[in-house]
Chains A and B, each alone.
Chain A
Amino acid sequence: MRFRFTTAAIDPETARRELVDAAAGACASFEGWVRNFNDGHEVKRLEYEAFADLAVKEGERIAAEALARFPIRHALCVHRIGSLAVGEMAVWVGVSSAHRGEAFDACRYIIDEVKHRVPIWKKEHYLNGDSGWVNCEHCAAARSPRAAVRAGD
């Protein structure tokens, strides 16, 4: 299983152990954290929701693509769902490989594709009491999905 959801805090140490391999000389990981501002709004907390059946299938496909495209050993993505406070970890991606270059590239590939393709939604709750589904309500019309991926990093 290379993609999974958790409702509890993500533990990167536990996740990292799943990548251990004697042939791996490199491990690259990415952590996505809840930030306290977005699009000029002060963010208080985030709520993540997923269509789990399809999200896990699509997440597994992305990890399989990474393993096919890059000469890596292992890949794993863990995504949090539920209510998250500022500073908490929303997503963890890790890749192990013989050398660092492909580990970085594959890690980047996985997080970019996950943001773009996996049916996960994020509702921002702002300090002023407002809330909104990211990419669906505020400023959504002006952005392409690709631009939104970069802006959300």
Chain B
Amino acid sequence: MSSAAPVFGLILAGGASSRMQRDKAALRYGGRTQLDRAFDLAARHVPRVFVSVRAAQAADPARAGKPLIIDAAGGEGPIVGIRSALAEFPDSAWLVLACDLPFLSDGTLTNLLRARDPARLATAYRSAHDGLPEPLCAVWEPAAGAALAAFQAAGGRCPRKFLSTHDALLLEPFDARALDNVNTPEEYAAAVRALGPMPAVPIQLKIQYYALMREQAGRSEETVETAAATPADLFAELTARHGFTLPRERLKVAVNSEFCDWSRALAAGDAVVFIPPVAGG
């Protein structure tokens, strides 16, 4: 059995943003652009991330600082961006994300990558609204390249239609609103309101790991961007990412080098340590 292709990240930022009437990639939430948020989110899950753009956008300052994959295949739309990435790195699978998913979470990506079936052409979620495949938060396998080319040659343009008619693994939604996209000024205003007062505004935390936790996380510290409001939420999120074996009941937690309660409110810049059962002496 051949091993699965490595997964790289592709953030689609080549859209015309016609309904929004301004560049969607540059919309800001909590001071950061959608493109930066999507890029950083993907970078927490895969080793390399690229931004998919049209040739005309390659010099745009919001995009130029990032590794780009410029549309090479003819035509327009997301299929062209996905095909261009598959052509540039034919041995890689791609975690393809639209840049306009403000509610997208680490949990949704962790779950997607864990459930991924590399033997299919793609692994995607079903829409929480209509049950149809969501092509723009999905893993596209190398073999999808030729199938997409044939689909496009036959006049196909819609990646959702492609997934509905080809061999794709479809997952139930992990979080009902994670894939809600934002297309109009009204939807943007609503998303800002929804994210604003909630802990969903991501904060950066420094996590230090010791002993068994360090070995299971594969690192002694990391900086994470998270919407976790408490150490309990954070532990659940990081357990999903690192596969910690100890249940929370057996651990203590410290924030800023002092023991604290699992329900303490976390703030940006906090240093968090999960403390497995101790064994001094």
Residue in B210, B254, B280 whose CB lies within 8 Å of A118: B280
Name A126-153 residues within 8 Å CB distance of B: 133-137, 140, 145, 148-149, 152-153
Q: Are B273 and A121 touching (Cβ within 8 A)? A: no
Q: Are B212 and A116 touching (Cβ within 8 A)? A: no
For B257, the chain A residues whose CB sits under 8 A away are 51, 53-54, 57
Q: Are A122 and B279 touching (Cβ within 8 A)? A: yes
Determine whether B281 belongs to the interface, using a CB cutoff of 8 Å to chain A. yes
For A145, the chain B residues whose CB sits under 8 A away are 277
In Å, the complex CA distance between A53 and B258 comes to: 9
For B208, the chain A residues whose CB sits under 8 A away are 51
Determine whether A10 belongs to the interface, using a CB cutoff of 8 Å to chain B. no
Name B240-281 residues within 8 Å CB distance of A: 246, 250, 254, 257-259, 273, 275-281
Determine whether A49 belongs to the interface, using a CB cutoff of 8 Å to chain B. yes
Residue in B212, B246, B278, B281 whose CB lies within 8 Å of A119: B278
Determine whether A115 belongs to the interface, using a CB cutoff of 8 Å to chain B. yes
Determine whether A74 belongs to the interface, using a CB cutoff of 8 Å to chain B. no
For B278, the chain A residues whose CB sits under 8 A away are 115-121, 135
Determine whether B211 belongs to the interface, using a CB cutoff of 8 Å to chain A. yes
For B259, the chain A residues whose CB sits under 8 A away are 54, 58
Q: Are A121 and B210 touching (Cβ within 8 A)? A: yes
For A91, the chain B residues whose CB sits under 8 A away are 280-281
Closest partner residue, chain B, to A116 (CB atom): B278
In Å, the complex CA distance between A32 and B210 comes to: 22
Determine whether A75 belongs to the interface, using a CB cutoff of 8 Å to chain B. no
Q: Are A90 and B279 touching (Cβ within 8 A)? A: no
Determine whether A123 belongs to the interface, using a CB cutoff of 8 Å to chain B. yes
> Whole-angstrom distance from the CB of A62 to the nearest CB of chain B?
11
Q: Are A136 and B258 touching (Cβ within 8 A)? A: no
Q: Are A111 and B281 touching (Cβ within 8 A)? A: yes
Q: Are A115 and B281 touching (Cβ within 8 A)? A: yes
> Whole-angstrom distance from the CB of A6 to the nearest CB of chain B?
13
> Whole-angstrom distance from the CB of B74 to the nearest CB of chain A?
57
Q: Are B281 and A152 touching (Cβ within 8 A)? A: yes
Q: Are A133 and B275 touching (Cβ within 8 A)? A: no
Name B200-256 residues within 8 Å CB distance of A: 208, 210-212, 246, 250, 254
For B258, the chain A residues whose CB sits under 8 A away are 54, 57
User: For B211, B212, B257, which residue has the most chain A Cβ atoms within 10 angstroms?
Assistant: B211
User: For B210, B259, B273, which residue has the most chain A Cβ atoms within 10 angstroms?
Assistant: B210
Residue in A57, A122, A123, A153 whose CB lies within 8 Å of B280: A122
Residue in A53, A54, A136, A153 whose CB lies within 8 Å of B211: A136
In Å, the complex CA distance between A91 and B275 comes to: 20
In Å, the complex CA distance between A113 and B251 comes to: 17
Closest partner residue, chain A, to B281 (CB atom): A115
Closest partner residue, chain A, to B247 (CB atom): A141
For A118, the chain B residues whose CB sits under 8 A away are 278, 280
* Contact of A49 with B281 at beta-carbon distance under 8 Å, contacts A54-B254, A57-B257, A133-B276 already known: no
For B250, the chain A residues whose CB sits under 8 A away are 140
Q: What 14 additional pairs, Cβ within 8 angstroms, besides A51-B208, A118-B278?
A: A49-B210, A50-B280, A51-B257, A79-B281, A115-B279, A120-B279, A121-B210, A121-B278, A133-B211, A135-B276, A136-B279, A140-B277, A148-B277, A152-B279
A-B contact pairs, 8 of them (CB 8 A): A51-B254, A51-B273, A54-B275, A115-B281, A120-B279, A135-B277, A136-B212, A148-B279
